[in-house]
Structure 1
């Protein structure tokens, strides 16, 4: 049975903002700020190329829809899916009946194959069926850094290019995999263009946060290498060594470092001083409260990953050992060194400048910070950021864990609910505001849901500055056994952290 023609009233599907907004959302180079999320849900009024159908029903120029297609921001399925359960809870009976009717017609025509009910990203301007479901992410998340580096810059960041893998130094401000609405400005796409590879050739072997710089391994169309690297990561303490560098305003206590690991020289270089170190809250001391340390630099916490309630970014929290679902989190503090930052770096983080004690041409006011070198033993989400924050040393630029420490949420949140339950959100890391308007023809002016799309006040800065650089670098990756990456030891190093390389 053919699906009945859906309503085609302009007000149901028309793009609700000024056309200039859509043009700005898709321009190159992109805006320095993100536009609010707007996802259009449309039931195709007729059969035809996706770009034509959407251009007609959104009432926008087709070239802009083709631009969305290029970004990877269009999705299609012959059978309309049910909305997210959270959103369905806010719909009226009439709205739910409308959704179910459209979906039932699609099922009657196409059957119940799950592939036909799951929206897939369109890579070509394919023909869509009347009654089919289209989703357009009209304001893709943009990554300006993808446009700030030249082809030569990207080639310089390639640390190794092999038949089955590529190693690259990722700049801060860029995601490794594509986002739900932007394929073209991911690390994968940037490296593919630098190597003149076809799109989709590279896949991430692991990931770094968008704000983090450093060594990333990409799989080059090789399931065998992907399996090999997963095995390395599963036993990283014996087969691989991952070293990170991070920057804090207050150094960790000297007793946490191994002998010789404290290099806190005065500005004039006339000796070593012991500055006032971070003083963690008393409830973070001792293994019973989620943390232990030893003189070899080992720092151990117990954590729960992917914690959030409505309006929050997913984050990791520190809990007591023995908490249901808690995972062991371990790193080694190797070294802390007092460093001077340029005026530009100081301005980025709002640091006070001080006059250097050394004489010489070009010497001027500098900000002081402390660069900490750590070695990962385990590999948990946000591990370095969490563990440094847990000892009272949140990283510069880390709006998420800095806020958790300031609000007393890094531990308190789980003392009241250690089971690790979290509210469902959009399903996308860090994405709390999903849609500006409901499904145009499926929902027909759905009532607003206050529980969704509203950012929690404490994490608003983190949400608004998701691409801001965090003072964290995946500095080096060392492979300690012979294998597909070469004869051991194999070392890939990102070089000096970006906060040393900023333009003075």
Structure 2
């Protein structure tokens, strides 16, 4: 029996929201013999039932594998907290918990997840509302470390004879059927053989609840809203949280009946000007302006060391993971990164009270008397571009706990960076790969709240539209 279902990325995710067909078989419900594939932290496990032990095997990842034996009983007995609701937002960061399930019996999705993972139904409903539950019509391939039994189960649900009887995947390639989308309704049903990914601990943004959002609105027009984005917030959301976003809270603050649309992104730890479209049509128009290079973005960056004036060119490794590695040398396949330093002036390092307020981390920088405020014209728009480029120049941004530790390490031991100015010669590709892995390991963790970076000004159509952000956080203690 087919059920109507609108699996879509909400408007908060901007123009590129994915919308699938509204058909999804009603399948997936209460079962005492659930078969699932589960990941906890860095572990990939197969769960056979809510009353039996699971077999566990580590997945391949860039970090140290952690093996967790999962017993499906009460959450507290498993070492997990007691779950109630996602709100109020916790002030502390919860450890990752991601569960992957392959479904054997049909039923409503909220009830199925609740019983499979021993979670309260209202907590599961909150997860779905946050966008933390994803599905694919067909189970993806397990990692190379899978046991023979787990490989057998994967083959069972991807056998041509089994798939042939599933109307929901008719006309789709295997790649299309294994593509994931969000579950958006608690009463959706799915079918046997489907795959569910549940982010039990979605990434949270407590900062959203501390902000006076009306005071952050720079301008409101018929087509768009200009927001002075606070540091520590997400513009349009993450893989598992599309609720605690600038888009959502700005929409509510303005009392709009239709949600705003994301037109471009800046990092969570960056503050400053962001354009939010009021309609899908203007979202497309603004995207086109960006593609045609009609949008100019100026940034204020607070660097820990002086930065040379003029255009700085790097090439960025085309891997969508932090840290973003850059090289002054042109490397085949790497993406061009260019910025122009328009000004660089010496300023005082932020005072202690301001550092504490914005959770600025020490990161081991040797001198904290002077900093350098730079005005930067961003010529190409790569993720972490300013942060990675300035760090490679020996001038990481204040508070940048990802890139500053690596910059400190390179200063202490020149040649640590296999792509840097003092890079070593490697006798084999294997040695180079080891050096790259060691260089990545020298980088730190994501900033807790803010770094020394503000999207200071945005303009388009030759300056016909131009907007500026307020005073950057590092200057607030000096006013």
Fold conserved (TM > 0.5)? yes
Question: Structure 1 CA distance, aligned partners of 2:417 and 2:288?
Answer: 32
SS at match of 2:325: strand
Shift of 1:140: 0.5
Question: Structure 1 CA distance, aligned partners of 2:242 and 2:222?
Answer: 23
Aligned to 1:370: 372
In structure 2, do the counterparts of structure 1 residues 467 and 188 end up closer, same or farther at CA, with 3 Å as the change threshold?
Answer: farther
Total equivalences in the alignment: 392
1:246 corresponds to which of 301, 304, 309 = 301
Aligned to 1:290: none
> Normalised by the size of structure 1, how large is the TM-score?
0.68
Shift of 1:52: 1.2
Shift of 1:57: 1.7
Shift of 1:61: 1.9
2:456 corresponds to which of 469, 475, 487 = 475
Aligned to 2:138: 80
Which region of structure 1 is more displaced relative to structure 2, 42-51 or 170-179? 42-51
2:146 corresponds to which of 85, 88, 91 = 91
Aligned to 2:474: 499
Write out aligned runs for 1:345-364 (5 A): 345-347=354-356, 348-349=359-360
Q: Deviations over 1:55-95 (max 9, x none)?
A: 12222221221121221111234x33213xxx521112221
Aligned to 1:187: 246
Question: Structure 2 CA distance, aligned partners of 1:108 and 1:377?
Answer: 52
Aligned to 2:158: 103
Question: Structure 1 CA distance, aligned partners of 2:385 and 2:333?
Answer: 19
Aligned to 1:458: 442
Which region of structure 1 is more displaced relative to structure 2, 115-124 or 96-105? 115-124
SS at match of 2:287: helix
Shift of 1:375: 2.1
Question: Structure 2 CA distance, aligned partners of 1:25 and 1:319?
Answer: 51
Shift of 1:320: 1.1
Structure 2 residue runs of 5 or longer lacking an equivalent are 2-24, 35-48, 55-70
Write out aligned runs for 1:200-219 (5 A): 201-219=259-277
Aligned to 1:7: 33
Question: Structure 2 CA distance, aligned partners of 1:155 and 1:178?
Answer: 19
> Normalised by the size of structure 2, how large is the TM-score?
0.71
Aligned to 1:221: 279
In structure 2, do the counterparts of structure 1 residues 191 and 15 end up closer, same or farther at CA, with 3 Å as the change threshold?
Answer: farther
Question: Structure 2 CA distance, aligned partners of 1:489 and 1:119?
Answer: 41
**RMSD value, Cα:** 3.7
Q: Does 1:145 align with 2:147?
A: no
Structure 1 residue runs of 5 or longer lacking an equivalent are 257-296, 353-365, 424-450, 482-487
Shift of 1:412: 1.6
Q: Is the 8 A contact 1:88 1:96 kept in 2?
A: no
Question: Structure 2 CA distance, aligned partners of 1:187 and 1:338?
Answer: 30
In structure 2, do the counterparts of structure 1 residues 306 and 169 end up closer, same or farther at CA, with 3 Å as the change threshold?
Answer: farther
Shift of 1:247: 1.4
SS at match of 1:341: coil
Write out aligned runs for 1:248-263 (5 A): 248-252=303-307, 256=308
Aligned to 1:284: none
Aligned to 1:313: 322
2:185 corresponds to which of 114, 120, 124 = 124
SS at match of 2:403: helix
In structure 2, do the counterparts of structure 1 residues 59 and 28 end up closer, same or farther at CA, with 3 Å as the change threshold?
Answer: closer
In structure 2, do the counterparts of structure 1 residues 489 and 21 end up closer, same or farther at CA, with 3 Å as the change threshold?
Answer: same
